[in-house]
């Protein structure tokens, strides 16, 4: 299933799988899809999430306490695929758990689960030879991060290697909701449009409907991560309902486009 962005802007929702537990994660994801999320990023918790701020750090720690593993996340992905045929699914992980499983085995299991794409936070495009080879062989879309500090030549390399969409990081920094959106984001998207025709999703720091609408003016998709994870943290016992409400608030701002 190709990653599709029918609405403008489309909504990409990130969750840390296993926080508070895998069964609840499934309910949360299905609620988000029902409320209008187009793509789900299934976050694999990692012991050393160097690109993440405190919210996702805490979620990862909680998920790891229950022993949440990459293998379990892939099983969950297959379950979700069983319920949601047209939602894009992306596995979002640091590199080490994938290396441990084995690149080839990972791609095979991931494809088999019905996942569309993979984003590896700490694998730069320069080091991605083996990964790209395995991903292409298994018809999976490799998604890469583009940063405001990436020079044009690097953006071109990222664009060439990417499939599905390009993830433009809105500012220099780690994940985490912010009151003000940096001006870096719009400029970066402009620079990316010169080197790719792929849809561009902007993420990091977006937490309100206003920010979603603002970013949606120049991006094809908006990624909301820490705000969702924090909603989960703050609504113990009714996580799925709370996330559903939050997602509905966001998607209320984007018009539905029919094919």
x/- track of binding to another protein for residues 25-64 (CB under 8 A): ---------------------xxxxxx-x---x---x--x
DSSP 32-72: HHHTT-SEEEEEPP-S--TT--HHHHHHHHHHHHTT--HHH
Determine the distance from the C-alpha atom of residue 37 to the mean position of all C-alpha atoms in its chain, rounded to a whole number.
Answer: 11
The C-alpha atoms of residue 243 and residue 148 are separated, in whole angstroms, by 29
- Interface map 118-137 toward another protein (x if CB under 8 A): ----x-x-x-----------
Is 41 known to be catalytic? yes
Q: Is 52 a catalytic residue?
A: yes
Q: Which residue has the tokens 């596995």?
A: 91
Selected from 22, 78, 99, 253, the binder of another protein by CB under 8 A is: 99
DSSP 8-state class, residue 232: H
C-alpha 221: how far from chain center: 11
Q: Report the distance separating Cα 70 and Cα 100, nearest Å.
A: 10
Q: 78: phi > 0 → left, psi -120 to 50 → alpha, else beta; which?
A: alpha
Q: E strand or H helix at 92, and its extent?
A: strand 88-93
- Nearest distance in Å: CB 91, another protein: 14
Does the protein bind another protein through residue 95 (CB under 8 A)? yes
- Cα R_g (the chain), whole angstroms: 17
Contact region with another protein (CB under 8 A), list: 8-16, 149-157, 191-199, 250-258:
149-157
Q: How far is the CB of 99 from another protein (least distance, A)?
A: 6
- Find the shortest distance in angstroms from Cβ 58 to another protein: 9
Query: Which one, 98 or 192, has the nearer CB to another protein?
Result: 98
Nearer to another protein, 41 or 184 (CB): 184
For another protein, which residue of 17, 70, 74, 168 counts as binding (CB under 8 A)? Answer: 70
Q: Which residues are catalytic?
A: 41, 52
Residues near another protein (CB under 8 A) are 46-51, 53, 57, 61, 64, 67, 69-71, 94-101, 122, 124, 126, 147, 149-151, 154, 172-174
């Amino acid at each position: 299933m190709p990653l599709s962005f029918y609405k403008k802007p489309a909504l990409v929702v990130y969750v840390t799988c296993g926080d508070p537990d895998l069964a609840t994660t499934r309910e949360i994801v299905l609620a988000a899809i029902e409320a209008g999320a187009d793509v789900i990023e299934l976050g694999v918790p990692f012991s050393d999430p160097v690109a993440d701020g405190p919210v996702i750090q805490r979620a990862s720690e909680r998920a790891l306490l229950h022993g949440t593993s990459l293998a379990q996340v892939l099983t969950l992905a297959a379950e979700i695929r069983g319920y949601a045929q047209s939602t894009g699914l992306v596995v979002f992980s640091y590199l080490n758990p994938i290396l441990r499983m084995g690149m080839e085995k990972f791609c095979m299991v991931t494809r088999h689960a019905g996942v569309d794409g993979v984003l590896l936070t700490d694998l730069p495009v320069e080091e991605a030879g083996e990964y790209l080879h395995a991903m292409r062989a298994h018809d999976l879309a490799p998604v890469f991060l583009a940063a405001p500090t990436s020079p044009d030549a690097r953006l071109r390399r990222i664009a060439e290697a990417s499939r599905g969409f390009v993830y433009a990081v809105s500012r220099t920094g780690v994940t985490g909701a912010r009151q003000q959106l940096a001006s870096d984001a719009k400029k970066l998207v402009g620079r990316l449009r010169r080197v790719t025709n792929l849809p561009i999703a902007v993420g990091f720091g977006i937490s309100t409907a206003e920010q979603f609408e603002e970013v949606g003016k120049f991006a094809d998709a908006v990624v909301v991560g820490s705000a969702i994870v924090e909603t989960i943290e703050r609504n113990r016992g009714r996580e799925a309902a709370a996330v559903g409400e939050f997602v509905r608030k966001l998607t209320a701002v984007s018009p539905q486009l029919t094919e």
